[in-house]
Amino acid sequence: MRLGLLLLALLVFAPAVEAQQLAFKRISRSGDELLSYRWRDYLRQEHGVSFTLTRQAIREAEDSFAQYSLQDMWQVVERDLRDEVARFGNGARIDIKRTSDGVRWTVEARNQDLDQLTRKVEGRLRKSQHDYLAKHLRRMDGERRIIVDFAAATSAQQSPLRAVAKALGDMPDAPAEDRGRVALALSFFQEIPYATLDDKQRQGGDFLPASALLAENRGDCDSKAVALAAVLRNFTRFRRLAIVTMPGHAILGVEMPAEPGDATIRQGGRLYVALEAAGPAILPVGRVGPITTKYLAGLARDIEIWPLE
């Protein structure tokens, strides 16, 4: 589903410097992990922050990433369809064949039962697929496209990442106003090393939930954008957020007053200021990289906006 994009304000800026992580440490303790970071922001100012994440939150996030696959999903679906037909009884049978993009099935039953059984199998297939994807923070968009459920992924990580927001807020140089707080959180995620998580064998598989991203000290564009959103939900509590996707890339938009030169995305009555969380370029609030500039200049072509309501 493509959502409307009405206004884009683009910025011309000097070439960005590369993100610079000065240090990262992970120390295992009883029941949790102590994570420590030092980095420089786009003004070359040095920052340091430490916080703990529970081992359970990290393990669940890593499992969500590692265990998701299309092959596994279709195995679960096939099992559930056979279970549905077995429960129906009355001599009903199902024949399932795996295809390159899913499963094909036919059922056999008494004439008076066939329509009812077909409806049950179709409903079970939809539910099985939905439940599997939801467990792994994904959903269907249309009939064949699997995408990250950005809103669900942000909500799922909001509680585990309260520790990050608190640690950023407790820094001696933490700003009191929202734009400065957004800038601080943005620079923190930009300095985490960028890693390509793409896997052509599992559609929608290139997403590392925030707790795992922080513990493994790596992430790609949409993983970082969602992690930043989860922190901002706690750090700037009343700002509305949206993930903005384009081919091969994703950024975060935050609804707040724009300053001159900010790259902005307008949807309906909301104006979002663009945040490039991916790195390794260090870009301040409202500045975007060449990929984003290219697609925003296309005036809505290939741009999709996903509010994190």
pLDDT digits (tens, 9 = 90+) for 241-297: 999 999 889 999 999 999 999 999 988 889 999 999 998 889 999 999 988 988 888
CA-wise closest residue to 115 among 127, 104, 123: 123
* 69 half-sphere exposure, CB direction, 13 A CA radius: 8
pLDDT at 12: 37
Is the predicted pLDDT of residue 61 greater than 70, yes or no? yes
Q: Residue 198: which region, alpha, beta or left (left: phi > 0; alpha: psi -120 to 50)?
A: beta
Is the predicted pLDDT of residue 62 greater than 70, yes or no? yes
Arch. (CATH architecture) of 7-67+147-307: Roll (3.10)
pTM of the model: 0.87
Q: Summarize the confidence of residues 77-83 as an average pLDDT.
A: 96
Domain with CATH 3.10.620 in the chain: 7-67+147-307
Domain with CATH 3.30.310 in the chain: 70-135
Q: Which residues does residue 255 pair with via DSSP β-bridges, in sequence order?
A: 272
pLDDT at 16: 52
Residue-averaged pLDDT of the chain: 88
Q: Summarize the confidence of residues 77-92 as an average pLDDT.
A: 95
Arch. (CATH architecture) of 70-135: 2-Layer Sandwich (3.30)
Q: Which residues does residue 50 pair with via DSSP β-bridges, in sequence order?
A: 36
Q: Summarize the confidence of residues 199-225 as an average pLDDT.
A: 83
pLDDT at 181: 96
| Angle, helices 150-158/221-235, rounded to nearest 10 degrees | 50
Is the predicted pLDDT of residue 91 greater than 60, yes or no? yes
Is the predicted pLDDT of residue 128 greater than 80, yes or no? yes
pLDDT at 294: 86
Is the predicted pLDDT of residue 176 greater than 60, yes or no? yes
